[in-house]
Amino acid sequence: MPQFPIHIVDDEEDIRDALSLLLISVGYEVVLHENGASLLSGCKPNDLATILLDVRMPNMSGLSVQDKLIQAGHVQPIIFMSGHGDIAMAVEAVKKGAMDFLEKPFRDVLLFDAVEKSFLRLEEESTLIIEKKEMQAVVKTLTSRELQVMNAVAEGLSNKIIAKKLKVSPRTVEIHRARVFEKLNADNAQQLIRKLATGGLLK
């Protein structure tokens, strides 16, 4: 299984230290942050990493950090930790997309379970990101006419209508369409649409 860095955000130095020792001891890679600001500057929205986030911190609480991450388009799974197990808080955090909620003190196995779960998601995410990058690269190789045809196909228009719209012959549309399918490695319109969606290219 591929490894991803774990960002530990806790204002308590001993907790950070102990967690990093524990995680490193079983072979994980950790990045330590004293507060939310440090995390926001040290972790990019598309970084493949897990965030281990304390709820109660001075200045910016774990829940505010989560809000900021979501606003900035971060995709990292978040595991919350709280020394003051509060069901309402946990529910809110999970609703906003948190992966897990651990009540301090917790057994190491629980932490490892949560981390492994986040890694599974990251892995999925990473394949998607690769596919997306590939798609974006491929799409860049298309001519402007091919792009027009591709978008029209994605809209679900027939060849005839596309020809009328682009003021070309249906035959020309057919040729461009075949070339788009070939470049994007799609057998039919459905596959094409799915691939475009993966690449975030669907308008």
Partner 1 sequence: MDISIINSVQILSYAVLVALALLLGQFIQIDGNIMLAWPVGAITVWLTWKDGWKKSFLPIFLGSAVSIYFHDLEDLMAAQRILATLLTGIIGGELLRAFEVQRTLNSVRDILLLFFLGALLSTALSSFSAAIVVRLPAADWIDTQRLWWSCWLAEAFAIMLVMPVLAEQSKRPSTESWIMLALVITNASIVYADILPQGVAMSLPLSYTASPLLLFAAFRLPINHLGVLLLVNAIIATWGTANFMGPFTLPTVEESILALHGNLAILSITALIISAAIQERKQTNQALSDRNEELNFILENQSEALIRTCRQGNLLYATPSSYQLLAQETLPENLLSWFTQHNVPLPDWILSSKPAKSGEFTHKLGEKWIQWLIKSAGSDSDLFWTGHDVTAAENAKLASQKHLSTLTQFGRLSDMAQLAGGLAHELNQPLAAAITYAEAAQRIAGHSTACKNLIPPLNKLVKNAELAADIVRNTRAFLRAEDIRKQALQAKLFLLETVDLLAFEERHAGVTVKIECDDSAKLFAAPSQFQQVLVNLLRNSIQAIEREKTGGRITLSLSQEEDMDILSHKDNGPGIKAKDREHLFDTFRTSHSKGIGLGLCISRTIIKAHGGDLSLAQSDSGAAFIIKLPKVKESAHATVSNSYR
State both tokens at 144. 């402007």
Cβ-count burial of 8 within 10 angstroms (0-12 exposed, 13-18 middle, 19+ buried)? buried
Contact region with partner 1 (CB under 8 A), list: 10-18, 61-69, 155-163, 190-198: 10-18
Taking alpha carbons only, the member of 125, 122, 133 closest to residue 195 is 133
Contact region with partner 1 (CB under 8 A), list: 90-98, 99-107, 115-123, 148-156: 99-107
Q: x/- contact string, 11-50, with partner 1 (CB under 8 A)? A: -x-xx-xxx-xx--xx------------------------
Widest pairwise Cα distance in the chain? 72
Interactions with partner 1, residue window 45-84 (CB under 8 A): 83-84
How crowded is residue 181: how many other Cβ atoms within 10 Å of its Cβ? Answer: 17
Contact region with partner 1 (CB under 8 A), list: 7-15, 121-129, 136-144, 152-160: 7-15
State the residue for tokens 């960002």.
Answer: 7
Shorter beta-carbon distance to partner 1: residue 15 or 142: 15
